[in-house]
Copies of this chain bind each other. A is one copy, B any other.
């Protein structure tokens, strides 16, 4: 099974870039399942709306994962419980709207997608390690992609080693910067600390760079808006073994003016 996992889509520039490259990448790589992190897909880069989720599904995304920005747009509470293809971090307390994992059908079988969130410098949630254990007990036998939305490399590596051999892949999101440490761990789990983002390239995590710099320099509140200008596309391509579900290949995809894509 081949899975394309796409990093945090940021605002309208991120969506346009997604719509531009996804058909091309599908043609080239023929993924069975496309997963994208949508926590920044709303116009202002905070959260996601029903309309944008529909756009993303319509453009060929099979599953949307989220993160700390999951709830930024209030309307998510109106539709997340109806949307089987969307997951929010599973280690929110029991009773939280939405679901922490889902199973996506594909021509080559089902893929389970799990969303977890880190706690270091991020959120006071339930333990992502024990949550992963609990979810895996219900998912026996399926290939499993984990989107681990976390800040620190230590927590990301720790979860990957903890799950090595028990899931197909642990792919980090949240930092909006793609890391270059893709590998397959000894027991067969593919790992990448962060897959990166899709959206403005001359920006700071997708937001206007001038505003963010001003914030750091002045320490005053500054309104961040999604940046304009040229964009980037970050993703990772994963191949899972047909029967074991373990990873056979992991390949980063980075597309921008410095590393252009040629069909």
Contacts and interface: CB of A to CB of B under 8 A. Distances in A.
Interface in A97-122: 119-121
A219 B130 contact: no
Copies of this protein chain in the complex: 4
Contact of A93 (B130, B204, B256): B130
A121 B177 contact: no
Nearest to A47: B221
Interface string A176-200: 1111110110100000011010000
Interface stretch (A15-23, A52-60, A209-217, A239-247): A209-217
A135 interface: no
Which has the most chain B C-beta neighbours within 10 Å: A119, A151, A219?
A219
A131 B46 CA distance: 32
A93 B218 contact: yes
Contacts of A71: 220-221
Contacts of A180: 178-180, 196, 252, 254
Interface stretch (A27-35, A36-44, A138-146, A152-160): A152-160
Contacts of A212: 154, 157-158
Nearest to A176: B153
Contact of A216 (B158, B178, B221): B158
Nearest to A217: B129
A95 B218 CA distance: 8
A209 B158 contact: yes
Nearest to A133: B217
A93 B205 contact: no
A205 B157 contact: yes
A157 B204 contact: yes
Which has the most chain B C-beta neighbours within 10 Å: A71, A120, A127?
A127
Interface of A: 71-72, 92-93, 95-96, 119-121, 123-127, 129-130, 151-155, 157-159, 161-162, 175-181, 183-184, 186, 193-194, 196, 202, 204-205, 209, 212-213, 215-221, 252, 254, 256, 258
